[in-house]
A and B are shown apart, each in its own frame.
Chain A
Amino acid sequence: MIPTHEFKLSHFPAMVIFALVISVAFGFLSRRSAYRRARYILWSFILFLLIGVGIGWAMYPFSH
């Protein structure tokens, strides 16, 4: 059995880590040059966060 550490992440850090990891993977898969990769990763990361926060705000009225 492999010893493991239990992670406790709240909503926002979980979303940031998810967005960052997926953006990096997508950037490396879909672009070849370093500059275009960096630009794609940055854009993808920002859009993940903005859309995530936007959907959160859009759902806010239904939770109250």
Chain B
Amino acid sequence: MPDEVPIVEPTNTVPIAPSASPDPVPASERHRRDALALTIAAAAWFLPGLGHALLKMWGRALVLFSTVALLVILGAGMRGNIFSRNGEDAFAQLGYVADLGAGIFYFVAQALEPNGPDVSHANGDYGTRLLATAGVLNMLAALHAYEVTRARKA
């Protein structure tokens, strides 16, 4: 008598994932965390490194403050262009947004450049790039601080 082994038909059914569980964090707590994240992001933008310092990430805070400060000091020392609010074209306005990203260092850069920018030489052109980089880097750091506060990043 042959063994009758029951044949199991392969099924193409995919196990259904359990429905998304309700968010364990209450709405009030979420709103409080969002408000805190925005505050920390604003602080991180205003003073580079402050957002991470408030989150007790001392190494990151120190490095961010130092790098943004160094880029601004170098950029201003190389007589880079600090874009103003009254930009003539889209590039100037974009440059203003990038420069303003450095927070308080935007005004420090203006104070460090008593003779104004000189972009007629390559030196000044590099300085413009360093100033813009300082701003964009600080905006990235502020976004990182925001994400950390919302517990999306480590």
| A residues with CB within 8 A of B | 1-2, 4-9, 11, 14, 17-18, 21-22, 24-25, 28-29, 32
Contact = CB atoms under 8 A, between A and B. Distances in A.
B133 interface: yes
Contact of A2 (B112, B123, B154): B112
Interface of B: 59-60, 63-64, 67, 70-71, 73-74, 76-79, 108, 111-114, 122-123, 126-127, 129-130, 133, 137, 140-141, 144, 154
B63 A25 contact: yes
A22 B137 contact: yes
A45 B146 CA distance: 26
B123 A8 contact: yes
Contact of A17 (B74, B79, B144, B154): B74
22 contacts: A2-B111, A2-B112, A4-B76, A4-B77, A4-B113, A4-B114, A6-B79, A7-B74, A7-B127, A8-B123, A9-B78, A9-B123, A11-B126, A18-B133, A21-B67, A21-B70, A21-B71, A25-B64, A28-B63, A28-B64, A29-B64, A32-B154
Given A8-B123, A14-B126, A22-B133, 10 more contacts: A2-B108, A2-B112, A4-B73, A9-B123, A18-B130, A21-B67, A21-B71, A24-B67, A25-B63, A28-B64
A7 B77 contact: yes
A32 B153 CA distance: 11
B78 A24 contact: no
Nearest to B114: A1
Contacts of A29: 60, 64, 140-141, 144
